[in-house]
């Protein structure tokens, strides 16, 4: 009896320890050590030349992708990351835009506008380009790692209760009618 309890106890401990490692980090271990966790996108945006060469983990939503002869340039709307390294879907939480230069082949059709990404990138400078009718300073990053997220599921919309809510069920007979006329016989 003692041996059986011991085996069950060991099995429970092993199964619980296995659950702790179900959600591995998205970021590769060799890059996780290089990321500066104290540096924020706002600090980069305010003074990109002071942080040249810094490695950051950034998330966002692709606004455009353009293929050049030796790289693909992504224009990204920066979005904060959740605990699982996935960008949030609320665009109002953005702190600006940045350019991500991906040196490997990346077909722009695989990252259409609206695609959410998480990347590890090295700050290479700043590039000024027009945004509508004004110049905008885009921090530029050389992409070291890129994770493309599947489209976010739409949030469910809960409809308010219908006046016929109480009548839904197996009994459709004598209790049918709008709410004010509902009563039990």
Residue 49 sits in which domain range? 25-148
pLDDT digits (tens, 9 = 90+) for 171-182: 444 445 555 544
For residue 159, what pLDDT is reported? Answer: 53
121 domain-assigned: yes
Give a yes or no: residue 158 inside a domain. Answer: no
Residue that the structure tokens 């990351």 belong to:
81
- What are the distances in angstroms from CA 115 to CA 27, 64, 93? 18, 10, 16
Please provide the average confidence, as pLDDT, over all residues in the chain: 81
pLDDT of 19-74, one tens digit each? 444 445 788 999 989 999 999 999 999 998 899 999 999 999 999 999 999 999 99
Supply the pLDDT for residue 25.
75
Tell whether 12 is covered by a domain: no
Residue 45 lies in a domain: yes
pLDDT surpasses 70 at 165: no
Give me the sign of the Cα torsion angle 41, 42, 44, 50.
negative
Q: How many domains does the chain have?
A: 1
Q: Between the CA of residue 123 and those of 50, 57, 169, 180, 185, what are the distances in Å?
A: 10, 11, 61, 66, 75
> What CATH number does residue 120 fall under?
2.40.50.140
pLDDT number for residue 153? 73
What is the structure's pLDDT at 13? 53
Q: Is residue 15 part of a domain?
A: no
If you average pLDDT over residues 88-113, what whole number do you get?
A: 94
pLDDT at 156 over 80: no
pLDDT of residue 22: 42
């Amino acid at each position: 009896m003692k041996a059986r309890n011991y085996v069950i106890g060991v099995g429970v401990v092993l199964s619980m320890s296995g659950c702790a490692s179900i959600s591995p980090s998205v970021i590769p271990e060799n890059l996780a050590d290089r990321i500066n966790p104290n540096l924020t996108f706002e600090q980069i945006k305010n003074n990109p030349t002071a942080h040249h060469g810094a490695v950051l983990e950034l998330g966002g939503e692709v606004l455009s992708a353009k293929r050049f002869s030796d790289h693909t340039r992504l224009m990204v709307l920066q979005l904060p990351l959740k605990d699982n390294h996935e960008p949030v879907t609320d665009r109002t939480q953005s702190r600006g835009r940045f350019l991500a230069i991906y040196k490997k082949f990346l077909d722009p059709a695989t990252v259409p506008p609206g695609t959410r990404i998480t990347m590890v990138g090295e700050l290479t400078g700043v590039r000024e380009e027009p945004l509508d009718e004004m110049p905008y300073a885009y921090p530029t990053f050389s992409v070291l790692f890129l994770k493309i997220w599947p489209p976010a599921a739409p949030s469910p919309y809960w409809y308010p209760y219908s006046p016929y809510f109480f009548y839904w069920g197996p009994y459709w007979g004598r209790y049918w009618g709008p709410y004010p006329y509902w009563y039990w016989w």
